[in-house]
Structure 1
Amino acid sequence: MAFLPSWVCVLVGSFSFSLAGDLNFSHLYPPLWKESPGQFSDYTVENGIYIIDPWVFPERLGMYKILLNQTATYFEKFASENEQNLLWGLPVQHGWQYSSGRLADPSRRTDCGYESNHLCISVDSWWADLNYFLCVLPFLAAVDSGILGISSDQVRLLPPPMDQKRFCYDVSGCLLSFPKAMNKWSDFYKYVLSPSSTFDDLLKYLWDAHIFTLTNTLNTFEDRYVYYSEQEVKFEKDWSVAVEYIGVARIPTTLIRVHESQKGLPPRILNKTDEDPEISDFTALQNTVLMGLNVLSSVHKLTGKNFKRILHKNQDNVEQSLVS
C-alpha cells in the first residue's frame, strides 16, 4: 500500500496554497455572501426572539457570516482581514454545495433549489441535511458560549416541511438531542476566548468538533441515497471518509486554502454516465481528486481505522517535535 500516501498528498495538496500575492478576499467568499444577513437584526424578530429559516440559502449562510464576524477579533492575531479564521471552511464548503446544485431537491418532486426557487434548501438533500448539523450546532454552541452576544433563548430556527424530528431548532433542544457534539463545539469556543489560544490548538479543537459532528450524523440520512445516482452516492461516501482524514491531518480551514481546494471538487451532481478519470466536462484536477477519493475510501475499507491511527500518531509526533 505504498501508493496510498501519494493519494493522500493529492487530496491534502488540493488544500495547500501560497499566501503570496495581493488578493481581494471578497472574490473568495461564498456565493451571495454580501447579500446574506451579517447580524442578528437582519433576521425576523418575534417577541424578542430572532427567527432564522435554515432552509433558505442566504439565511443559513448568514448564520456562518455572523460566526465569522463575531469571532474575527479572536483570529486577528494570526492574519489581517479575518483570512485565518478557521471557521471559513464551513461556509465556503456550503457555497460549493449551493453552486454545484447539491442543495436542491434530488427527488425532483418539488422545485426546491431549482431556477424558480433557487434559494430553497431541500430537506431531501443528503448534503443539505449533513450541513445542517455543521451549521446549526456550531452556531447554537456559539450562542450558548456567549461569544455571539445574545442569550441562549433569543434565537429559534424554523423546521423543514418534513422529517422535523430529525433536527433541533434552539440551544436547549440541541443540547438535549446532541449533547456531545454541542459540547465539542463549546470546547472550541472556550479556547477561542482564551488569551493563550494558539493556532494549532484551535485547529485541533475545531477538527475534533467537526469530525465528531459528521461521523455521528452520517447514518441518520442514509435514506437520502435513493434519490441519487450510484456515482453520486459513492462520491458522498468517499467525501465523508476523506474529510475524516483531512481532519486527522489537521489541514487549516482558512479562507484562501479552502477556496482553492474547492477547485478540485465536482462542479455538479454526478450522474450514472460519469466515469472518472474521464468525465469530459470536469477539469483534470477534478477527475484526479475523484479518483483519489475513490482510492482512499477503498483502502480505508481494507485497513479499517489502522491507517488513520498511523496518520494521527504521525501528526502527534510532528507536534511534539515542534514543541521540544
Structure 2
Amino acid sequence: MAFVPSWACLLVGCISASLAVSSKISDVYPPLWEESPGQFNDYKVENEKYIIDIWNYSQRLGMYKILLNQTTKYFEKFAPDNEQNLLWGLPVHHGWQYHTGRLADPTHRTGCGHRPLEHLCLSVDSWWADVNYFLSIMPFLAAAEAGILGISPDDVIFLPPPKDQKRFCSDVSSCHASFPEAMKNWNEFYQHVKSPSSSFDDLLKYIWDAHFSSLKVARKNFQSRSKYYSKPEADFQRNWALFVDYLAPPRFPTTLVRMYEFQKGLPARILLSRDKGPFIRDLTGFQNTVLLLLDFIHKVHKYTGKRYGGFVFYDFYRVL
C-alpha cells in the first residue's frame, strides 16, 4: 500500500494550490452573520430566561456569534480582529450547510428550509442539521458552565424539535448525563481557553478532542437520516465525517480565513443521484477533486482499517 501516500499527495497538491488565495475578513463571514443575534438581549425573553429557537438558522448562528464575541479577549494574543479564534470553524461550516441547502427538509414533506417564509428553518430530518445540533449546543452550554458567557446555563431555554426530542439533550444536566465524554472535553477546552499559559497548539488539541467526541455522538445517533438522501450525498456525508477524523490528529487550525478557504473545496449544492465525481459539471475542479479524495480515503479505510492519510494530511496542513 505504499502507493497510497504518494497518490493522496498528488490530490493534496491540487488542494494546496486552490487554497493559495487569501480573502478579506469582511468577505468570509457565514451568511446572515451581521443580521444574527450577537448578545443575549437579542433573543426573546420569558420569565427572565432567554428563549433560543435552535432550529432556526439565524438563532443557532447567533449562539456561535455570542461564543466568538465572549471569547475574543482570550484569542486576541494570537491575532487582531479575533481571526485566530478556533471557534470560527463551527459557524463557518454551519454557514456552508445553510448556503448549500443541506439544512432543509430532505424528505420534502414540509416546507422547512425550502419555502421563502421558512428559509431559516432547520429540519430535524436533515442529517447535517442534526449533527450540527451537537456542535452548537454542547460548546454553548459548556461555555456557560465555564463562566465564559456571563450567564448561568439555566438562564437559557432551547426550543425542542418537532419530533425525536429524546435524541437531543437541551440543558447542561441532560447533556452531561447522555454524553459525558463530549461535555467533559468541551469543558476542558474552555478551562484552557481561560488559562493565560495556554498556547495556540494547546487549544488546537483540546478543541479537536471536543469536536471529535461531539461528532462521534452525533454520527451514531443519526445514521438513519442518510436514507432521505441520494446515494452520492449519503456517501459524501459518510466520507466527510471520516475525513474529520483525519483532520483531528494533524490539528487543522479552524480559524476564520482558513476555514473559509478550505470550504471552497466542498460541493456547493446537495449531490443528486446522477452526480458522479470527478465529472460533475456544475462543480469546480477543486470540488470534484475533493470528492474524489474523500471517496478514496473511505475506500482505503474500509479495506485496510488503517488511516494512511494521517501523516499525509499532517504535511499538507503545515503548508497551509
TM-score bin, normalised by smaller chain: over 0.9
Deviation for aligned residue 1:301:
1.2
Query: Paired residue for 1:105?
Result: 105
The residue identity in structure 2 corresponding to 1:249 is P
* 8 Å contact kept, 1:8–1:296: no
Q: Does 1:241 align with 2:239?
A: no
1:53–1:295: structure 2 CA closer, same or farther, 3 Å change rule?
same
What amino acid is aligned across from residue 110 of structure 1 in structure 2? T
The aligned residue for residue 82 of structure 2 is 82
| TM-score in terms of structure 2 length | 0.92
Q: Contact between 2:212 and 2:248, CA under 8 Å: does it hold in 1?
A: yes
**How far does residue 2 in structure 1 lie from its aligned partner after superposition?**
3.3
- Residue 304 of structure 1: CA displacement? 1.5
Query: CA separation in 1, counterparts of 2:112 and 2:165?
Result: 17
Q: Which residue of 2 aligns with 1:125?
A: 126
How has the CA–CA distance of structure 1 residues 178 and 216 changed in structure 2, closer, same or farther, with 3 Å as cutoff?
Answer: same
Deviations 1:15-49 (A, max 9, x none): 895697xx531210000000000011111111111
Contact 2:56 2:121 in 1 (8 A): yes
- Report the equivalent of 2:161: 160
- Residue by residue, what CA displacement relative to the aligned partner does 1:46-93 show, whole Å, maximum 9, x if unpaired? 111111011000000000000000001100010000000001011000
Deviations 1:215-260 (A, max 9, x none): 1221211111111001110000000000110111111000000000
Cα distance in 1 for partners of 2:19, 2:84 equals 13
Partner of 1:249: helix, strand, or coil? coil
Mapped partners of 1:131, 1:28: distance in 2 = 20
Q: Counterpart of 1:54? A: 54
Q: Distance in 2 between matches of 1:19 and 1:81?
A: 20
Partner-residue secondary structure (3-state), 1:45: strand
Would the aligned equivalents of 2:37 and 2:65 in 1 still touch at CA under 8 Å? yes
Give the whole-Å Cα distance in 1 for the aligned partners of 2:13 and 2:276.
23
Question: Partner residue of 1:42?
Answer: 42
Name 2:136's counterpart in structure 1.
135
Contact 2:300/2:306 (8 A) holds in 1 = no
Note the residue ranges of structure 2 that are not aligned, 5 or more in a row: none
Structure 2 residue 23 is the aligned partner of structure 1 residue 31: no
Distance 1:200 1:13 in 2: 26
State which drifts further: 249-258 or 210-219.
210-219
Amino acid at match of 1:279: I
The answer on whether the counterparts of 1:12 and 1:246 sit within 8 Å (CA) in structure 2 is: no
Report if aligned partners of 2:246, 2:307 keep a CA contact under 8 Å in 1. Answer: no
The amino acid that maps onto 1:114 is H
Alignment partner, residue 265 of structure 2: 264
Structure 1 length-normalised TM: 0.91
Cα distance between partner residues in 2 of 1:44 and 1:281: 41
**How far, CA to CA, are the matches of 1:101 and 1:3 in structure 2?**
37
The answer to whether the Cα contact below 8 Å between 2:100 and 2:269 also exists between their aligned partners in 1 is yes
Q: 1:155 to 1:12 in 2, by over 3 A?
A: farther
Q: How does 1:284-303 map to 2 (within 5 A)?
A: 284-303=285-304
1:55 maps to amino acid: W
Provide the rounded CA distance (Å) in 2 between the counterparts of 1:39 and 1:97: 23
Aligned CA distance change for structure 1 residues 280 and 306 (closer, same or farther; 3 Å): closer
The equivalent residue for 1:68 is 68
Q: How far apart are the structure 2 equivalents of 1:11 and 1:18?
A: 13
Amino acid at match of 1:59: Q
Report Cα offsets for 1:73-132 as digits up to 9, x if no partner: 100010000000001011000000000000000000000001321110000000000000
Residues 17, 273 of structure 1: CA spacing in aligned structure 2 closer, same or farther, 3 A cutoff? closer
Change over 3 Å in CA distance of 1:104–1:205 after alignment to 2: same
Letter in 1 for 2:300: V
